[in-house]
Chains A and B, each alone.
Chain A
Amino acid sequence: DAGITQSPRHKVTETGTPVTLRCHQTENHRYMYWYRQDPGHGLRLIHYSYGVKDTDKGEVSDGYSVSRSKTEDFLLTLESATSSQTSVYFCAGGGWGTDTQYFGPGTRLTVL
């Protein structure tokens, strides 16, 4: 969906360094989500936001934090990256329930 962009699209970093991934949307989605996708696990929810400054944990939130200071931006931070956080990260926006969910293009993160 052109309304959701992610940056960077690719990143290689070293174990122990902090990393911030950015999700930007222009569709005024109230709800935003961060997922990681790994072979054999499908898409797993890391954190989600249901409004500005309103966030909650998903099923794999350990080692990750998020912030949403304005509707358009949803940041995912790895405080101290580990090799187990090597993955493809997708941001999504939209709704839950009777609304649908659209994905950004993804960020491929490699932690050496």
Chain B
Amino acid sequence: EDKVVQSPLSLVVHEGDTVTLNCSYEVTNFRSLLWYKQEKKAPTFLFMLTSSGIEKKSGRLSSILDKKELFSILNITATQTGDSAIYLCAVSGTYKYIFGTGTRLKVLA
């Protein structure tokens, strides 16, 4: 059965800290892995990863994929209160995406 597991489930940090969010997967016919940020509304797209070892970067956020070990990490450096959200990982299999349950990040001022 396809599955995506995210860890930790929740995390509380202080502004300025660096955090690493994890996503491991077992999905048939893997094609890509996506990261989303969800505040009190719809998920918004952050990154799509298809190749191992190639870091995607956007400002203070970066992500990398390891297709051999079947996992991805999302790093956030110099965290800000605006980074507080649920971070979702999704992996595409045949025609569809499997989502993890998310990591809830809270950044304290």
Contact = CB atoms under 8 A, between A and B. Distances in A.
B102 A42 contact: yes
Given A97-B92, A100-B48, A101-B34, 16 more contacts: A31-B95, A33-B97, A42-B101, A43-B88, A43-B90, A43-B99, A44-B99, A45-B97, A45-B98, A48-B96, A96-B94, A98-B50, A101-B90, A103-B42, A103-B44, A105-B41
Interface in B50-109: 50, 88, 90, 92, 94-102
Interface of A: 1, 31, 33, 35, 40-45, 48, 50, 56, 58, 90, 96-98, 100-106
Select the residue from A41, A43, A98 with max chain B CB neighbours within 10 A.
Answer: A43
Contacts of B88: 42-43
Given A48-B95, A50-B95, A98-B32, A42 B43 contact: no
A103 B46 CA distance: 12
A46 B88 CA distance: 18
B-side interface size class: 20 to 34
A38 B92 CA distance: 21
B14 interface: no
Interface of B: 31-32, 34, 41-45, 48, 50, 88, 90, 92, 94-102
A3 B43 CA distance: 14
B48 to A, nearest CB: 5
Interface centre among B34, B95, B99, B102 (most CB of A within 10 A): B95
B60 to A, nearest CB: 21
Nearest to A4: B42
A58 B34 CA distance: 19
Contact of A42 (B32, B94, B99): B99
